[in-house]
Structure formats: C-alpha cells, structure tokens
C-alpha cells in the first residue's frame, strides 16, 4: 500500500481500492461512521483517491475499505474476535512489529495498518468495532 504525506497540508495520501455498488455504499458508510480517535490518536485528513480510507495519528494508523482477501487468510487461519468483530493478523506480525489486520467474515474486507508504536492492536480493534459492526454486514462469524 502506498502512503505519503502531501506537502504542508498534512493530508495523507492513501492508495485505497476502488469499490462500486453495494461495496461502495458500505465503505462510504464505514468511513462516515468511524470514530474521531483510534488508539487515542486523532483522526487526520486523507486523500483516498477514488477509494475509501481513513487515518489517525502520526505515525499513521491507516484504514482501507474494500481490499482484497489477504494472503494467508484461509480456512485454517486463526482470527481474533474483539467486540464482536473478527480480525486476521498474519502469524509473522503478532510480535509487536507493524501489523496489518483485516476483518474476517464481512461483506467487505477492511484493512488496518497499525505502526508498531500502537502495539498491541486490541485498543484499535475496540475503537473500530462499533463502526464496522454498524456498516459492514457480517456473512459468517470468525471461529
């Protein structure tokens, strides 16, 4: 995922995937429902291109909606459920390194990149869960 800050505006450019139809409506609703703070970091301005994204803090916690299913997420992968939202974190990232976590069992995949400064990811998961539950339909629970 390409990230860059744009000039003095402090607007973060995010390479967010394009979505259409029901996916675009769900991702737009998610971005509108997201909290002002995640992991005690304030929301910041983003330029998501034609997609749907949000960010908080510096270094930035970055959320992208409508991403592809992550590599390694299959029937045998473990997931973590926090506040009724399932998340997949690749096994190699569960030790305090930067984390890329993706929702599991939802109509749209939501990815959150969490810099190591905000590890462990549980606080961000709790902060994001209400918006995800309200806007991204659950297809099957994470087990």
Paired residues of 113 in beta bridges: 62, 100
Task: Kindly report whether the global pTM for this prediction surpasses the value 0.75.
Answer: yes
Q: What pLDDT score was predicted for residue 129?
A: 97
| Token output for 25 | 């409506």
- Residue by residue, pLDDT tens for the chain (143 residues) are 344 333 335 899 999 999 999 999 999 999 999 999 999 999 999 998 889 999 999 999 999 999 998 887 876 678 889 999 999 988 777 676 799 999 999 999 999 999 999 988 999 999 999 999 999 999 988 76
Q: What pLDDT score was predicted for residue 1?
A: 39
Q: What pLDDT score was predicted for residue 143?
A: 66
Strands (E), the chain: 3-6, 11-14, 37-38, 41-44, 46-47, 52-56, 61-65, 80-82, 85-88, 99-104, 110-114
């Amino acid at each position: 995922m390409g990230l860059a800050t744009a000039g003095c505006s402090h607007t973060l450019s995010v390479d967010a995937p394009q979505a259409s139809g029901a996916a675009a409506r769900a991702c737009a609703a998610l971005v509108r429902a997201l909290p002002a703070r995640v992991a005690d970091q304030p929301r910041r301005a983003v330029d998501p291109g034609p997609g749907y994204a949000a960010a908080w803090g510096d270094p930035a916690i970055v959320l992208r909606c409508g991403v592809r299913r992550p590599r390694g997420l299959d029937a045998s992968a473990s997931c973590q459920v926090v506040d009724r939202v399932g998340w997949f974190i690749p096994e190699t990232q569960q030790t305090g390194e930067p984390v890329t976590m993706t929702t599991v069992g939802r109509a749209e995949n939501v990815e959150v990149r969490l810099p190591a400064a905000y590890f462990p990811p549980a606080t961000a998961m709790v902060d994001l869960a209400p918006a995800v539950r309200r806007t991204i339909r659950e297809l099957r629970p994470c087990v």
